[in-house]
Structure 1
Amino acid sequence: MTEPPGSTRVLLVTGKGGVGKTTTAASMAVAAASSGHRVLVLSTDPAHSLGDVLDVDLPSARHWRSGTDVPVGVPGSPGGLTVLAVDHHTDVEADWDVVRDHLLRILEGLDVDPVIADELVTLPGADEVHALLTLALAVDSGDWDLVVVDCAPSAETLRLLTLPEILGWHLDRLLPAQRRLLTTLRPAAAAATGIPLPDREVLDVIGTWRRLMARCREVLTGPSASVRIVLTPERVVVAEARRLRSAFALHGYAVDEVVVNRVLPAGEDEWRSAWNRAQADGLTLIIESFDGIPVTVTPHVAGEPIGVAALAALADERSVLAGTPRALTDPVEVAVPRVTGAEDGFVLEQPIGLADAAAVRVQRRADDLIVSVGGDRRIIALPSALRRCVVENASVGSGMLTVRFVKDEEVWPHGR
């Protein structure tokens, strides 16, 4: 591996709880450091077992702005390997206090119970926001060639990765509305409506947070970031990994490798032979499920791989089962929604991974298209041309949701 030109590579390592994702993330980081890279391993898992795996005291960043000052080197590592945890006792909400106070004043004027009001204005996903901002700051610092993120189990990881778009969507709608109020309402009108006008500081904070969320989204969905799903060759685990792949596709995250962990070596005794047959079936299912994505295998080793030496040895044991793993210097291809012209309208194509038609729901709401895949949902802000159209139909096939729009003649006269 060689240093990615002009950018920090980001690997997000996740999977079902208990499959060995932390060990996998740590072994990847050790291998990269052994090749001369400056590597940061960042844990966003509230359980924080990363320190146990690396056999090091795991420092925590109590505030995202101090994130780059806290990491410590890993004793015994071959080079620039540092480690950091995002503490769940975060101070990130202090940055939100200006907006929070303004919202509380509005709710107080509406006679909302103070206890309920306080709950309503709490920053959503504060822990996840802290982790995202710490990651973005680490990338922008230029101090590392590679940031390996030991993510929480699947559900928590999805909540983390969808937050920049969701929070950004809400801020996009709050900021223009508040600016219009500030410029069009006079104090007398504000008094008549009972709505306190936001001051410049409130608007500045909202604008800053919108830019921060946009930067987080840019880092996570850019050509230098990818997700690696860790799983074991068991049907229940594979089923969750398939759903995870669909969710990542829906939200615009690239999965560039699947790591199959704890594969037992062949044996002649009845117990091991039975496991070998079951795992062989699981490996076949994995190859079929993740067609087009490289699959690597890590064998089940004798003893826990704890410490740098054991993790380096584990990385050396990994082999390729299918496809060609991507080098860190290779840009990642991210499948994004695409709009093309069609007769009397347009076609929007949204990647949805392995989801079938029965699991997909599409709803138009004002200027947004809401796409649900199973329990996951994405709000897609429609471009101006599609806002003047109506949805004709939708179909699912080959990992893609296709939505057909026809021009609304009331707002888009014929021939224009």
Structure 2
Amino acid sequence: MAVRSVAVPSEAVAGFDEMVSGTQRKYYMLGGKGGVGKTSCAASLAVKFANNGHPTLVVSTDPAHSLSDSFAQDLTGGQLVPVDGPDCPLFALEINPEKAREEFRSVTQKDGGTGVKDFMDGMGLGMLVEQLGELKLGELLDTPPPGLDEAIAISKVMQFLESQEYSMFTRIVFDTAPTGHTLRLLSLPDFLDASIGKILKLKQKLASATSAIKSVFGQEQTQQNAADKLEKLRERMIKVRELFRDTEATEFVIVTIPTVMAVSESSRLRSSLTKENVPVKRLIVNQILPPSASDCKFCAMKRKDQMRALDMIRSDPELSNLIMVQAPLVDVEIRGIPALKFIGDIIWK
């Protein structure tokens, strides 16, 4: 028996002591496919950090707003909302991607969308507009790139955190949107490089065509604004990417459930995160049926399926070296601080 107990802890214990130690700021990003219980895991981790002496911020970039449901509190204003209950300050923030996208659009449309065309037509320079059309700039700016929502959300959070009043937060937990977006977010700076390049090219064309009259119309100015704003966004994106890759400060926790499909997706996620140099140590396997003496037929089949999925994790080259934390399927809905504390004490040991 003794040998067995040596082998088990790596599967059972999340290593919360290590997660909670140290007062420098740390970021935990929880990600995985939709419906695996990421939000409950993220919210319960945030509550546990706050109850263990860390002023904590939990942020959701998931458009479904499940963080509000988890805390049974309205967090949708895009502002930091204090959460009542934990021992240390706990704040939550839900960022609305649609709003972020609107902001992106208004930046780009005001400064160089159709306005440019009207202006150029009025100057009898319609031909130049045709050439500009080849740059496909309007299309580029009307349809934000995939991953932009999360990028803007996370960069907003980083903006918040750079200001003095938020320097108190030592743990920041992100409930990220479902799998794909998080990864696209990491390739954004390259995308923005390309778009900023296009805008600068456009600026040069405009400048040469309108140098004689630009002082009258000040068109140069707004073009510059669009380029500057995108440039700022790009700088922030690079910061976000650096944060994701910072092994000292950041950890990405994969959340999954014990089904063959979910495990396959988690394996692909781990592989992509590794390619992007994002540090991953832990895998939460959620919704595991607790052992029972009196199994109904359905439960017995379900449990067998889950065991197969767990075996798959143990033999998967991407997942087998992670700390596997098994979180039980519970018979109540996890909603509100007491419930989050209850589940947090089970998961984050």
TM normalised by structure 1 equals 0.63
The answer for the alignment partner of 2:252 in structure 1 is 227
Q: C-alpha offsets along residues 122-146 of structure 1, whole Å, 9 cap, x if unaligned?
A: 2524533431321322443324111
Aligned residue number for residue 365 of structure 1: none
Tell whether the 8 Å contact from 1:92 to 1:129 is kept in structure 2 after alignment: no
Q: Does 1:136 align with 2:134?
A: no
2:338 is matched by which residue type in structure 1?
A: A
Partner Cα separation in structure 2 for residue 317 and residue 209 of structure 1: 40
Equivalent in the alignment of 2:75:
58
**Structure 1 residue 26 and structure 2 residue 46: aligned?**
no
Equivalence for 2:31: 14
Secondary structure of the structure 1 residue equivalent to 2:229: helix
Offset at residue 237 of structure 1 (A): 0.9
Instruction: Name the structure 1 match of 2:186.
Output: 162
Q: Distance in 1 between matches of 2:113 and 2:168?
A: 36
Residue matched to 1:278: 305
Contact 2:27 2:171 in 1 (8 A): yes
Letter in 2 for 1:2: S
User: Would you say the 8 A contact 2:196–2:227 is kept in 1?
Assistant: no
Measured after TM superposition, the shift of residue 4 of structure 1 is: 4.0
Distance change >3 Å, CA 128–CA 80, structure 1 → 2: same
Q: Which runs of 5+ in 1 are unaligned?
A: 62-69, 321-416
Aligned pair partner of 1:210 in 223, 229, 234: 234
For the pair 1:96 / 2:108, whether they are aligned, the reply is yes
Q: Deviations for 1:230-277, whole angstroms, at most 9, x for unmatched residues? A: 111111111111111122222332222110101111123243333332
The DSSP-based 3-state class of the residue aligned with 1:295 is strand
Query: 1:163, CA displacement in angstroms?
Result: 4.8
Match of 2:58 in 1: 41
Q: 1:251 aligns with which of 251, 276, 299?
A: 276
Would you say 1:75 and 2:95 are equivalent positions? Answer: no
Q: C-alpha displacement at 1:98, in angstroms?
A: 5.9
**What SS class does the counterpart of residue 230 from structure 1 fall into?**
strand
Change (3 A) 1:171 1:73: same
- In the other structure, the counterpart of 2:327 is 298
Distance 1:9 1:60 in 2: 25
Q: In the TM superposition, what is the alpha-carbon distance from 1:88 to its structure 2 partner?
A: 2.9
Report deviation, 1:10.
1.4
2:253 matches 1:241? no
- Match of 2:4? none
Write the distance in 2 (CA, Å) between the matches of 1:231 and 1:95. 38
Give the TM-score taking structure 2 as reference length: 0.75
CA distance in 1, matches of 2:226, 2:35: 43
Amino acid at match of 2:238: A
> Is the CA contact (8 Å cut-off) linking 1:175 and 1:207 kept in structure 2?
no
Determine which of 120, 142, 148 is the counterpart of 2:173. Answer: 148
Aligned with residue 110 of structure 1, among 130, 134, 137: 130
Question: Which amino acid letter does the alignment assign opposite residue 217 of structure 1?
Answer: R
Kept in 2: contact 1:98–1:201 (CA 8 A): no
Identity value in percent: 27
Which is worse superposed, 118-127 or 255-264? 118-127
Q: Determine which structure has the larger helix proportion and give its number.
A: 2
Task: After TM superposition, give the deviation of residue 99 of structure 1 in Å.
Answer: 5.1
Shift of residue 212, structure 1, vs aligned partner: 2.0
Root-mean-square deviation (Å): 3.3
DSSP 3-state at the match of 1:246 = helix
Name 1:337's counterpart in structure 2: none
* Distance in 2 (alpha carbons) for counterparts of 1:98 and 1:179: 15
Any conservation in 2 of the 1:100–1:122 contact (CA below 8 Å)?
no
Closer/same/farther in 2, CA of residues 309 and 122 from structure 1, 3 Å limit: same
User: Secondary structure of the residue that 2:36 maps to in structure 1?
Assistant: coil
Cα shift at 1:299:
1.2
Relative to its length, the structure with more strand (as a share) is 1
SS of the residue aligned with 2:290?
coil
State whether residues 48 and 341 of structure 2, in contact with CA within 8 Å, keep that contact through their aligned partners in structure 1.
Answer: yes
User: Per-residue deviation at 1:147?
Assistant: 1.4
One-letter identity of the residue aligned with 1:208: K
Query: Unaligned 5+ residue runs, structure 2?
Result: 1-19, 121-125
- Contact 1:74-1:83 within 8 A present in 2 as well: yes
- Structure 2 counterpart of 1:122, which letter? D
Q: In structure 2, which of residues 14, 18, 21 is the aligned counterpart of residue 2 of structure 1? A: 21
SS of aligned partner of 1:110: helix
Change (3 A) 1:95 1:37: farther
